[in-house]
Amino acid sequence: MLTAKELVKGAVGLVSLPDIYIRLRSLLDRPDYGLAEVGVLIGQDPGLTARLLHLVNSAYFGVAARIETVSRAVNMLGTQQVHDLVLATSVAETFSDMSTGVMHMRTYWEGSIRCGVMARLLAIHCNMLDSERLFVAGLLRDIGHLLMYQKYPGPSQKALIRATQAQELVFRVERELFGFDYAQVGGELAGLWNLPPALESSIRYHTVPARADEFRLEASIIHLASVVTETHRWTGNGEKWVECADPIALQLTDLSVETVDHLLVEAGDQVASTVDLILPNLREIS
């Protein structure tokens, strides 16, 4: 069986991000870029323009007056949130045509969005600046699975079934079956896409947050968001996560069962609206 690195290397054509994201990253990597340039670039993609304006005029941001131009939207959101929006929709576009018998794509993306919402709420709980950026890390933390579902559908489904029946985190089962887990595959994808270091580390090391070095808190938040989301799917309550969570993550975040119960309710209220904001075509994905 291939390693995680070999699996990603062999699928370069399948997992290339759209040109609009690559051009945006190239622009934002320039020290002298201007917000006007970002607006012009976004304006060249009608679909992305529509999603950006829909987002900035939503209750999510609660602006008083309607914003009708990309330039004003970019000025309001800032380049970090524009980057994250383009990245999230670019990844969804890259994988939207995939057909897999392992998991329905709507189920997959709604679970990923739920984890992203939970990660954002946990970041707020931990008093992190720019907590919005943890949303996209939570959203993409499971991206490695889409490649595994394509390459190894049978073993991937076996891992999901075994993990659910045993109420064990799926990455531990995958390490036994594959010799690697979805987080390692996702980390290789993040490296291939040249994603920002904090984002790559959060994806790659959220199953082992102690290895994330200076991004240990970010990886711990994604770890806990992932564990809470996964265990809640088994049990329907917010308590099983405690025995599954990494001790380092618990220590860094000081998270309690009561806090998780509260955040699960808050996350549930936000998921449906966030689906429509970030991935408006989700229900068309089959």
| pLDDT tens for the chain, residues 1 to 286 | 789 999 998 887 777 888 999 999 999 999 999 999 999 999 998 888 887 888 788 766 777 788 889 998 888 888 888 898 888 878 877 776 666 677 777 788 888 888 999 999 999 999 988 788 899 999 999 999 989 998 899 999 999 999 989 989 999 999 999 999 999 999 999 999 989 999 999 999 999 999 999 999 999 999 999 999 888 877 665 578 888 899 999 999 998 888 888 888 888 877 777 776 666 655 544 4
For 88, other C-beta atoms within 10 Å of its C-beta total 22
| Contact status, residue 166 vs residue 231, Cβ threshold 8 Å | no
Main-chain dihedrals φ then ψ at residue 2, nearest 5 degrees: -65, 155
| Contact status, residue 158 vs residue 177, Cβ threshold 8 Å | yes
Q: What is the pLDDT of residue 76?
A: 85
Cα–Cα nearest to 139, from 255, 277, 246: 277
Cα–Cα nearest to 180, from 188, 215, 265: 188
Can you give the C-alpha Rg of the chain in angstroms? 18
Using CA atoms, how far apart are residues 280 and 1, in angstroms rounded to an integer? 37
Q: Which superfamily does 6-284 belong to?
A: Hypothetical protein af1432 (1.10.3210.10)
pTM of the predicted protein model = 0.89
Q: What is the pLDDT of residue 111?
A: 87
261 to each of 166, 228, 237, how far by Cα in Å? 23, 10, 8
Using CA atoms, how far apart are residues 8 and 182, in angstroms rounded to an integer? 11
